[in-house]
Amino acid sequence: MAEFSSKFNVQSLMLAVFVFILASCDEPPIPKPVGYFQIEIPQKNEYVHFSGSCPFEFDMSAQAIITLSDSVTRPCFYNLEYPQWKATIHFTYLPVQNDLKNLIDEEHRRKEKHLQLAASISDSIYIFPTKHVSATVFNINGTKTATPLQFFITDSTKHFFRGSLYFYHTPNNDSIQPIIKYIKADVRRLISSFKWK
Q: What pLDDT digit, counting tens, does each position of 141-165 carry? A: 887 788 999 999 999 999 999 999 9
Provide the residue ranges of all domains of the chain, joining segments of one domain with +: 47-196
Domain 47-196 has CATH 3.20.20.10: no
Q: Is the pLDDT of residue 170 over 60?
A: yes
Q: Please check whether residue 164 is in contact with residue 149, taking contact to mean a CB–CB distance below 8 angstroms.
A: yes
Q: What pLDDT digit, counting tens, does each position of 57-83 carry? A: 999 999 999 999 876 778 899 999 999
Region 163-174: mean pLDDT is 82
Q: Please check whether residue 134 is in contact with residue 153, taking contact to mean a CB–CB distance below 8 angstroms.
A: yes
Rounded to the nearest integer, the mean pLDDT of the chain is 86
Q: How far is CA 140 from CA 73, 119, 128, 145, 149, in A?
A: 30, 8, 24, 7, 6
Instruction: Name the phi and psi angles at 137, rounded to 5.
Output: -115, 130
pTM over 0.75: yes
